[in-house]
Amino acid sequence: MNTEQVKQFDSIFNALSESLDITETQYEAAVRSYRAVGDWLAKADSVLVSYNPIIRAQGSFMLGTMIRPLNEQDDLDINLVCELTGKGASWTQYDLKHKVGNRLKDHETYKRMLDEEGRRCWTLKYAQESNYHMDILPCLVAKDYKTVMERSFSASLGAIRELDNLAIRITDKESANYRYDPSPENWMKSNPFGYGIWFIQRATAGDRQKMMLLAESVRAVPKYQSNKTPLQRAVQILKRHRDIMFAGDEDKPVSIIITTLAAKAYQGEGSITEALQTILIHMDKYILNEFDPQSGKTIKKVENPVNPEENFADKWIEHPKRQDNFYKWLEKVRKDLSLILQLRGMHVIAESMMPRFGRQAVSQGFDSLAEKARSLRESGTMKMAAGSGILGSAGSVSAKAHHFFGNHE
């Protein structure tokens, strides 16, 4: 592919990923909702007030890689943590989790919204028209947690030890010491914000200015991200291809594995097209083979970059279909992308992308491109790259006014 073709496909992939984004209205509504929950937990009459409860987003909502569900009627799943700085001396995991749950139940609205208690979280199901639910994970953080987080942004890519200081202790009702052990050092460890900073560092490829802009995502009240990096866009596109291929299959490749392998494989490409190509060529190279003493077998490991002891692919052992499905998906998405990148002409490209990324998302993306093209045609700046067969705003051959998109519904 020449430079012009890469630019043209970039515009297509960017439009597709923008169509997968949740809207700024949805984003801000979710932030307002979880801020209100945090305010309630931290109110003066709360048993938690002395532990400075803070609600913060984690997962794809934080990383800027969230995509709309295939069915627009389905809920967005927004993952949150409820950070507590300290706890009662005798509180076990059970106590801490239920202090948070009971405080939510003290609010009549939240009491009605609460779903059944989850393994680690409390889930608030918002009204159907809101189209989201929130999983709230109670956890303990260090007293200097905020300072450590700020300092971590200046850490080098290899400074995993610094990011390890952002680890939190969480509750897990399936752990053996759930009801009797008040010592947090014996509780399960997680590190969603260390992971978030690692991902930001990978996504910005060492660009300090870009990194500080993306750092907003790990704030308690982050700003909506409209201009995303090639890595963020690539992850969104890969997740949608996964969703289409495995619609309704619980054994589909999980997002944390796709996101982690994509971030490890990404080499700082400045275009979405080149990022996708690099990621798909290299991502399986970061799946390790490791001897498992429990089973006596060699297993696959997708290492958590901020906690090397954690294997994101640990479920592959008891659910081998998930491992098989990952490799089937990787083979399919490689072939699909290779095919698409060989095509020329907007109609042909759109028709090829629809069964692979979803008719509605692809239609919306191409409609967005059509609007931009109309504007360029009206201004007389529309050009066609010689020999490319793809229209754009740069190139060597002037293009006549032409409606080349049509109706994709």
**Residue 284 and residue 407 in one domain:** yes
Same domain membership, residue 219 and residue 126: yes
What does each C-alpha distance from 285 to 248, 257, 337 come to in angstroms? 28, 13, 19
Are 249 and 395 found together in one domain? Answer: yes
Residues 163, 241 share a domain: no
Q: In CATH, what number is assigned to the domain containing residue 164?
A: 3.30.460.10
Distances (CA, A) of 167 to 60, 141, 142, 196, 291: 18, 8, 9, 12, 26
Last residue of a domain, one of 224, 248, 281: 224
Among the candidates 192, 224, 256, a domain finishes at: 224
Q: How many CB atoms lie within 10 A of CB 320?
A: 11
Residue 159: the pLDDT is: 55
120's CB contacts (< 8 A; 6+ apart) are 137, 170, 171, 172, 173
Count the helix, strand and coil residues of the chain and give each as a percent rounded to the nearest 5: 50, 15, 35
Residues 199 and 253 in one domain: no
Residue span of the structural domain in which 46 resides: 22-224
The mean pLDDT values, 10 residues at a time, for the chain of 409 residues are 92 96 92 94 96 93 92 88 96 97 97 94 87 94 77 55 84 96 95 91 78 63 82 98 94 97 97 98 97 86 92 94 98 98 94 96 94 78 51 38 36
Judge contact between 297 and 287, C-beta under 8 A.
Answer: no
Residue 408 has what pLDDT?
35
User: What distance in Å separates the CA atoms of residue 238 and residue 13, rounded to the nearest whole number?
Assistant: 11
Residue partners of 374: CB distance under 8 A and separation at least 6: none
Provide the domain count of the chain: 2
Choosing from 181, 197, 224, the residue where a domain stops is 224
- In the numeric block, which tokens belong to residue 78? 């927004």
* 142 and 85 together in one domain: yes
